[in-house]
């Protein structure tokens, strides 16, 4: 479906209301989609192996799984260098919002004004385009989490978190200075040699299993796998336990409440310990569902209590929605499932939002220029695409679709869990943001690899989990194909 002259913005109420879904437009948009995966070679195929060899002569490329043919990939289907057609349930680590080559995105640069925004990439902090304030309001602020009226754009998820940390530290020091805005000569000279008081000791708390990126500050809060952190110096920042629930949730309520309590007590203790050792916790970063670390959920009650704790201790709360944001859980922002009584202080985003960035409360806006800054600070052409993505999400009620497809997937996964209890357990998640565990890492890896051979790209996370991260245009019919091929795969193991 081609939508022209897009000026519509997404109102919050539109995104959140249970609109009855009309997928006719969606069906038209995806009409060229294949009806099924089609695997012609072993995976990886011969051409893929050649390309991998070539790339490895230039860089370390062992992480590459497949080379995409982006001319041929369409909707929910990924076509590789060997012409194999896969149903994509992983979508470039969860970063393709409305499928490959969506016509509404393909037509975005037919417009000369948009082409000029693409080729004249500004240094946004100093020479933004005349329509930049209006574009920020129309696009990013139209889906801002309630109560967060400010937004900064960034390049990626890691630097969104990294810059949110800086804003937290500046806010914290501002409070310690009692509102004094000027810096002392001592602060100015000591920061140049990385010493206090100009470079003060302060910390950001994160959680066991959390993933917040790979730049230096972000990496100090990442706790998912050693391979991300090894050999890099890190800050002395605290880590607290994040709940590990037993499933199904309704059968383990008491145990899981105990687990929440255990974690919250430790959070409070650790904040005290760090205050005592003169390294106060200024901020805390947490994912609404820990993703890279293994799709671990926290209950709404856990998050409500965590926010209360932050408020009591004067710690800024950053919700990292880099992976969960932009709709896959059935709400624009996953934390909206938690009914927090007041907004968090920051919500960071990237991936499906196509631009990195963070929303924040105005008290976190630093009083000086150039403090949250770099050359590009994002890219206006990504907002042109994002505006169209949001338009499609609204017009085609893709949040409703995430819930609807999610229900099909969830009940299918629960059936498979009953059929293959030795291979699958702990089905969990929200919307299509779902996952399940295998009993062991090698079994999990085997399932993912055979699933790919059977025509589905799936993702692993943590030690045991297989995660689903389809695009928002994944329909019940795609869910059925996924479930059939997963069943076939489990039978083969
Ligand atoms: C929750 C979360 N935060 C931050 C990041 C880092 O984002 P990026 O890879 O764009 O730097 C990721 C990436 O997977 C993520 O899942």
List pLDDT tens digits, range 409-428: 999 999 999 999 999 999 99
Q: Is 58 helix (H, G, I), strand (E, B) or coil?
A: helix
Confidence class for position 32, pLDDT limits 50, 70, 90: confident
Calculate the average pLDDT of the chain: 94
List ligand 1's pocket residues with C-beta within 6 A. 93, 156-158, 161, 211-213, 287, 291-292, 320, 322-323, 350
> Residues 28, 184, 342, 375: which is the catalytic one?
375
Distance from residue 93's CA to the centre of ligand 1 (Å): 9
All CATH 3.90.1150.10 domain ranges in the chain, comma separated: 12-107+395-492
Query: What is the residue-wise DSSP string for 421-441?
Result: TTT-EEEEEETTEEEEE-SSH
Distance from residue 160's CA to the centre of ligand 1 (Å): 9
| pLDDT for position 179 | 82
- How far from 228 is each of 12, 161, 212, 237, 350, CA to CA, in Å? 37, 16, 11, 16, 19
Which CATH architecture does the domain made up of 12-107+395-492 adopt?
A: Alpha-Beta Complex (3.90)
| pLDDT for position 6 | 31
Distance from residue 458's CA to the centre of ligand 1 (Å): 18
Q: Reading across the β-sheet that carries 459-461, which strands appear in turn? A: 425-430, 433-437, 465-467, 459-461
| pLDDT for position 267 | 98
The closest-lying atom of ligand 1 relative to the alpha carbon of residue 93 is 14
Q: Which two tokens stand for residue 303?
A: 């998050």
Residues 348 and 187: their CA atoms lie apart, in Å, by: 29
By most ligand atoms within 8 Å of CB, the mutation choice from 207, 210, 323 for ligand 1 is 323
| pLDDT for position 25 | 53
By most ligand atoms within 8 Å of CB, the mutation choice from 219, 223, 292, 347 for ligand 1 is 292
List pLDDT tens digits, range 92-140: 999 999 999 999 999 999 999 999 999 999 999 999 999 999 999 999 9
User: Which residue in this structure is represented by tokens 């169209």?
Assistant: 388
User: Which residue in this structure is represented by tokens 């042109």?
Assistant: 384
Q: Is 240 helix (H, G, I), strand (E, B) or coil?
A: strand
Which CATH architecture does the domain made up of 123-378 adopt?
A: 3-Layer(aba) Sandwich (3.40)
| CB neighbours of residue 15 within 10 Å | 22
All CATH 3.40.640.10 domain ranges in the chain, comma separated: 123-378
By most ligand atoms within 8 Å of CB, the mutation choice from 95, 209, 211 for ligand 1 is 211
Please confirm, yes or no, whether 183 is among the known catalytic residues.
no
The closest-lying atom of ligand 1 relative to the alpha carbon of residue 350 is 10
Distance from residue 286's CA to the centre of ligand 1 (Å): 12
Q: How far apart are the first and last CA of the chain?
A: 41
Distance from residue 451's CA to the centre of ligand 1 (Å): 25
Please confirm, yes or no, whether 375 is among the known catalytic residues.
yes
Query: What is the residue-wise DSSP string for 296-352?
Result: EE--HHHHHHHHHHHHHHT-EEEEE-TTTTTTTTSSSSGGGGG--SS--SEEEE-GG
Please confirm, yes or no, whether 211 is among the known catalytic residues.
yes
Residues 449 and 272: their CA atoms lie apart, in Å, by: 46
Residues 30 and 75: their CA atoms lie apart, in Å, by: 6
Tell me the average pLDDT across 361-378.
96
Distance from residue 291's CA to the centre of ligand 1 (Å): 9
Please confirm, yes or no, whether 90 is among the known catalytic residues.
no
- How far from 126 is each of 101, 150, 476, CA to CA, in Å? 33, 18, 46
Atom 3 of ligand 1, residue of closest alpha carbon: 212
């Amino acid at each position: 479906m081609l939508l022209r002259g897009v000026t519509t913005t997404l109102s919050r109420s539109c995104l959140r209301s249970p609109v009855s879904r009309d997928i006719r437009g969606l069906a038209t948009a995806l009409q060229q989609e294949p009806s099924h995966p089609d695997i012609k070679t072993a995976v990886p195929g011969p051409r893929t192996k050649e390309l991998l060899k070539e790339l490895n002569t230039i860089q370390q490329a062992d992480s590459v799984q497949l080379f995409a043919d982006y001319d041929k990939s369409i909707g929910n289907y990924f076509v590789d260098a060997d012409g194999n057609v896969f149903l994509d349930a992983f979508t470039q680590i969860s970063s393709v919002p409305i499928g490959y080559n969506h016509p509404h995105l393909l037509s975005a640069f037919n417009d000369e004004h948009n082409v000029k925004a693409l080729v004249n990439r500004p240094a946004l902090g100093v020479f933004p385009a005349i329509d930049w304030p209006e574009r920020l309001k129309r696009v990013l602020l139209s889906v801002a989490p309630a109560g967060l009226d400010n937004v900064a754009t960034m390049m990626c998820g890691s630097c969104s978190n990294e810059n949110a940390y800086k804003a937290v530290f500046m806010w914290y020091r501002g409070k310690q200075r009692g509102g004094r805005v000027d810096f002392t000569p001592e602060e100015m000279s000591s920061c140049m040699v990385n010493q206090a008081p100009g470079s003060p000791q302060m910390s950001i708390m994160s959680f066991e299993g959390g993933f917040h990126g790979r730049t230096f500050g972000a990496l100090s809060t990442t706790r998912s796998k050693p391979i991300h952190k090894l050999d890099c110096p890190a800050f002395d920042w605290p880590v607290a336990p994040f709940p590990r629930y037993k499933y199904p949730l309704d059968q383990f309520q008491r145990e899981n409440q105990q687990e929440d309590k255990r974690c919250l007590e430790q959070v409070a203790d650790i904040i005290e310990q760090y205050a005592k050792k003169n390294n106060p916790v200024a901020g805390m970063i947490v994912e609404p569902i820990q993703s890279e670390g293994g799709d671990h959920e926290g209950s709404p009650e856990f998050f409500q209590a965590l926010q209360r704790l932050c408020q009591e201790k004067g710690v800024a709360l950053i919700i990292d929605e880099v992976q969960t944001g932009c709709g896959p859980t059935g709400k624009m922002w996953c934390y909206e499932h938690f009914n927090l009584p007041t907004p968090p202080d920051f919500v960071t985003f990237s991936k499906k939002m196509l631009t990195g960035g963070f929303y924040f409360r105005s008290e976190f806006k630093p009083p000086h220029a150039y403090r949250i800054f770099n050359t590009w600070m994002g890219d206006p052409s990504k907002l042109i695409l994002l505006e169209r993505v949001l338009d499609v999400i609204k017009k085609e009620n893709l949040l409703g679709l995430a819930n609807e497809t999610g229900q099909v997937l969830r009940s299918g996964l629960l059936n498979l869990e009953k059929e293959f209890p030795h291979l699958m357990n702990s089905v969990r998640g929200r919307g299509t943001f779902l996952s399940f565990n295998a009993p062991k890492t090698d079994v999990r890896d085997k399932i993912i690899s055979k699933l790919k051979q059977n025509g589905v790209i799936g993702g692993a996370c943590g030690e045991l989990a297989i995660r689903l991260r389809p695009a928002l245009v994944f329909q019940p019919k795609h869910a059925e194909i996924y479930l059939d091929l997963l069943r076939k795969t489990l039978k083969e193991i």
